[in-house]
Structure 1
Amino acid sequence: MPLREGEWNLSYSANEVHPGANFTFGTIASGYYLIEPYEITYADVDAGDVPMPQEDGARLGQDYRGQATITFEVGVDAVDEAPTQLGRHDANLSAVSTMLQAWDAEAVRRRFATPAVLRTTQGGRARRFYGRPRKAAPAGSKLTRQGYTPVVCTFVCLDSTAYDDVEQKVRIDLVPPDHHGLVGPLTTPLTMTGEGSGKVAGEVTVGGTKPAWPVITIYGPITNPVCDVVGRWKAGLDLTLGVGERVVIDTRPWARTVLRNGNASVAGLLTRGTPRLKDMKLPLGTQDFVLRGTDATGTAYMTVAWRDAYAYL
């Protein structure tokens, strides 16, 4: 559901007995408004510099950027919820409890590599961050009995990237190429090797300011499927998918999996020329996607999904 301008939403799924969350804050209408503007703090770069032996200076190495942290000062306001002080106090305690329950995030913090999603709309831009809520500190005071409590809380991101809230997705069908008759000798049964019709460069555009992480899903029947980002990289699998089967190559940092039919890892079947998952980013600009492989029916296809990525909101 789209958020109003200035709103934030923290969400994650339930996990067994631990409830999920769908908590909206940031505006007066939500009852949880920002006392001060949100603050995004970027971690220092982990520099790979190495001192030069027996001389001044250093040799520059590979640098890595850490996580971003978003800090909020939230006013939890229940002043108008009841006509009496006792009622306002009760309503405010309940509102603070609701926020702290969402920020506790036990459903995700007990699961390995599982992020929560923090969404917002700022300047008309719908963005999201992946990470986990961390600190939550309510500042109880005499105002709490009047229905108001300020809370300082933080959300630690997986990386330093803001993602478009709208997912982009394209479908590429496997269509046998044009041919001019059959060349003998022929044997039965006859099969045809096809390649995807692709998307013409200029038809599919990866936006944002940073390369994007794709999720590639290939649907059978197909043998030795290959996802070809033309001129960039190819991801191939040494396997055969039957009718109704699929394989998902998820390159996102919190996933990094290759799963057949949603549960069986087939990462070991990636072909030798396939890049590492962390190197399979989609470049900015217009791209041409092609599905290659062998399919006797010509009905195999793949989808490529991604979210445009930004260095800032």
Structure 2
Amino acid sequence: MPQDLREGQWNLIYDGDEVRPGADMLFGTLSTGIYLLNEPAIDFADATLGDAPLPLEDGIRFGQDTTSTMTLSFELAVDTVAAAQTPAGRHTANLDAVDTLLTTWDAAAVRRRMGAVAVLRTRQGGRYRRVYGRPRHIALANSRFARQGSTSLVGEFVAADTHWYDDAEESTSPGAAPAPIRGLKAPLTSSLSQRVPAPVQQPGAMNVAGTVPTWPVITIHGPGRNPTLTFFGPERTQQGDLRERMTVGLDLTLGEGEWVTIDPRPWARTVLRNGTGGIAGALTRSSPRMSDMLLPPGLQHVRYAVADETGTSYATVAWRAAHRYP
């Protein structure tokens, strides 16, 4: 479980590997030993413009513009003034604390893995937010008071995108009705019976908060064949029904105990079977590109369908509300 945060605190988290340690570091307030000298600066990168000049006339034709990311800059002070009674003790404690901060900010366990990201959490105005990315540049800004137990540094955290996400994850798990059986199978025996097709199950409700679209992480659990999730809303038809937005399907068969996770988030973009094997090619042609698998803010629904005679297959859709500012 992530650590609880006080107002104005930040929490850097990432997993370790077999050689390099992970991190769960608090900073931002005096009680953490690493406090902020100023409010963090948030720098949004310039957009990449798709403009094109109009031939033989004034003006331009606006094209498709894209944005890259944002960078958070922190002015940090490592404070060990109260760590010892003597100047030598405070100096030693300060050197150790700066060493720990630099090692944590280096994030070797993250940067040595393709696509891996760290999580940077914060509490601002009573709200818990997080961004995904990597700690990058860090440098000593002032070490003249290190012998008295204080060293200042400047560090940067580069986000994977320009969005802030709710710390709490939401999820829904729409069930699937058993597939109907059509016709009879040999050998025939007495007391023949045929299952009646189950009624179409109502889609599961999803109340997506936030101010910008966010990414759903879809997990489908077997057994079953050709699972499909259809998303509706938040727009409505003339009849008042939620409009069908997108369908995400897989052309495969899952055994009992098997699962597939579809993760379209920019730092992932994977379709994994049982958490390891990549099977992005199993996405059906009717499925949108992973970059378009977005949930807009608002009330919407999702319906799950699968050919499963046991009636035990199920799917979960998890998401975090997204914002442009913490």
TM-score by structure 1 length? 0.93
* C-alpha deviation, 1:75, in angstroms: 1.0
The answer to whether the Cα contact below 8 Å between 2:218 and 2:261 also exists between their aligned partners in 1 is yes
Shift of 1:193: 7.0
- 1:192 deviates by 7.9
User: Following the alignment from structure 1 to structure 2, what is the Cα–Cα distance between the partners of residues 304 and 164?
Assistant: 16
Matched, 1:254 2:258: no
Aligned residue number for residue 197 of structure 1: 201
Q: What corresponds to 1:267 in structure 2? A: 280
SS of match in other structure, 1:117: strand
Cα distance in structure 2, aligned partners of 1:119 and 1:141? 27
Q: Which of these residues, 63, 66, 82, is aligned with residue 64 of structure 1?
A: 66
Corresponding residue of 1:187: 185
Matches of 2:133 and 2:93 in 1, distance apart?
30
Structure 2 distance, partners of 1:91, 1:197, is 63
Equivalent position of 1:135 in the other structure: 137
Hey, what does 2:154 align to over in structure 1?
Answer: 152
Query: Which of 24, 30, 33 is 2:32 aligned to?
Result: 30
User: 1:2 Cα shift?
Assistant: 2.1
Determine if contact 2:178/2:307 at 8 Å carries over to the other structure.
Answer: no
Residue type at the aligned position of 1:224: N
Distance 1:249 1:92, change over 3 A: same
Q: Which one of the candidate residues 247, 250, 253 is aligned to 1:234?
A: 247
Partner of 1:7: 9
Between the aligned partners of 1:210 and 1:193, the Cα distance in structure 2 is 40
Unaligned 5+ segments in structure 1 are: none
Aligned AA (2:32): S
Aligned length in residues: 307
| CA apart distance, 1:107 | 0.5
Match of residue 277 from structure 1:
290
Find the aligned partners of 1:205 and 1:63 in 2 and give their Cα distance: 29
Which residue of the other structure, out of 291, 304, 307, is the alignment partner of 2:317? 304
Partner amino acid for 1:22? D
- Confirm or deny: 8 A CA contact 1:191 1:295 kept in the other structure: no
Q: Once superposed, which parts of structure 1, at least 4 consecutive aligned residues long, lie more than 2 Å away?
A: 139-142, 185-200
In the alignment, which of 169, 172, 181 is matched to residue 170 of structure 1? 172
Query: Counterpart amino acid of 1:227?
Result: L
TM-score if structure 2 supplies the norm length?
A: 0.90
* Secondary structure of 1:172's aligned partner: coil
Distance 1:192 1:159 in 2: 49
**2:82 corresponds to:** 80
Alignment gaps of 5+ in structure 2: 188-193, 233-243
**Post-superposition offset of 1:171:** 1.0
Q: CA RMSD in A?
A: 1.9
| Residues 25 and 31, structure 1, Cα contact 8 Å, conserved in 2 | yes
- Equivalent AA in structure 2 for residue 12 of structure 1: Y
Does the Cα contact within 8 Å between 2:177 and 2:305 map onto a contact in 1? no
SS in 1 for 2:109: helix
